[in-house]
Amino acid sequence: MGEPTAKTADSLNGRTADSQGSTVSIPVAGATGVARTAPRNTLLARLRTPRSPRLWFEVLLIGVSYWLYSLVRNAVPEKRTLAMRHADWVWSFEHHLGLAVEHSVNHSVNSVTWLIVGMNYYYATLHFVITIGVLVWLYVYHPGRYGPARMVLFLTTWLALVGFWAFPLAPPRLMTGGGFVDTVEVHHTWGSMSQGSLAHVSNQYAAMPSMHIGWSLWCGITIATLAKPLWAKLVGALYPVFTLTVIISTGNHFWLDAAGGALCLAVGYGVAYAVYGRWVYRLPRVPARPAAGSRVRPDAQPS
């Protein structure tokens, strides 16, 4: 009873030091003044601990995943009649909302040749180039956040396949009597999976949800959240806005398709939050390197 002696303090310190071999948690003094240690490692804690990505595995995973995605997407039966009926329904619904802007935007932008030609190439190329570029940037500069962010992108993409199966939808440019301009066909630009021989191997009625929007939103949020320069944050914020303008101007999507893509992305982020216990971009930038015989703290602060 009474004040602790120096010997007692030394004994407490010794027990605290001995406990460091089984956990790397910093002791926290409680109401009684006795140090407490964090709980031992669990399966959930290990799952939530960021790991350094391996290049060969990531290249293989992304390549195989995109091949399987394309295979499944293009294997969806092309139910033309049902897809056209769905397109008429979407178009009527947008008219009911007073937001059926696609026709006027499509014709207005098509009247400016250099602009619509540029948008055709934007639609055909940046969808892949920017997404791969952001993945590489995350891998190099944010390895601790790469895996969780990549999981969000994968979940979004695979969830979209459910939409392609459940709700086949013709794009505006293919609507019968819709009066939309197929800008790639009119201006003879290359790169579209919907033209020429490629049209026979690409599902023309997989418009809902729009993965151009799903992927561009993922890129934009990632850049705007993690980039340091203000100009880069602005570019990230504007990228999905430009993409939305392009997919409508070229007659490839309704704006409701974009809403579907955004919903898929929201689900992806939600699942990642449930798995990792926090916003993926608040995870540590670089995975912690555990000392020999110690465990990594899953709650390490991001840098």
Tokens of 85: 């009926």
- What is the pTM assigned to this prediction? 0.77
Establish if 144 belongs to a structural domain: yes
**Per-residue pLDDT tens listing for the chain (303 residues):** 444 444 444 444 444 444 444 444 444 444 444 444 444 556 666 666 666 677 777 778 777 877 877 777 666 666 888 999 999 999 999 999 999 999 999 999 999 999 999 999 999 999 999 999 999 999 999 999 999 999 999 999 999 989 988 899 999 999 988 899 999 889 988 755 555 544 545 678 889 999 999 999 999 999 999 999 999 999 999 999 999 999 999 999 999 999 999 999 999 999 999 999 999 999 998 876 655 444 444 444 455
Is 10 among the domain residues? no
CA distances from 87 to 164, 171, 174, 185, 263 (A): 13, 7, 9, 20, 19
Residue of 185, 128, 136 whose CA lies nearest to 157: 128
What's the total number of domains in the chain?
A: 1
**Does 5 reside within a domain?**
no
Residue pair 258/213 in contact (Cβ under 8 Å)? The answer is yes
Assess if residue 12 is contained within a domain: no
What's the confidence (pLDDT) of residue 77?
Answer: 62
pLDDT at 294: 47
pLDDT score, position 165: 87
- Cβ atoms 289, 137 nearer than 8 A: no
What is the C-alpha R_g of the chain?
26
Residue 107, both tokens: 């014709």
* Domain that residue 221 falls in: 80-282
3-state DSSP of the chain: CCCCCHHHHHHHHHHHHHHCCCCCCCCEECCCCCEECCCCCCHHHHHCCCCCCCHHHHHHHHHHHHHHHHHHHHHCCCCHHHHHHHHHHHHHHHHHHCCCCHHHHHHHHHCCHHHHHHHHHHHHHHHHHHHHHHHHHHHHHCHHHHHHHHHHHHHHHHHHHHHHHHCCECCHHHCCCCCCCCHHHHHCCCCCCCCHHHHHCCCCCECCCCHHHHHHHHHHHHHHHHCCCHHHHHHHHHHHHHHHHHHHHCCCCCHHHHHHHHHHHHHHHHHHHHHHCCCHHHCCCCCCCCCCCCCCCCCCCCC
* Residue 105 in domain: yes
- With respect to residue 66, please indicate whether it lies within any of the assigned structural domains: no
Residue 97 lies in a domain: yes
What pLDDT does residue 63 have? 78
Domain presence at residue 288: no
pLDDT of residue 80: 83
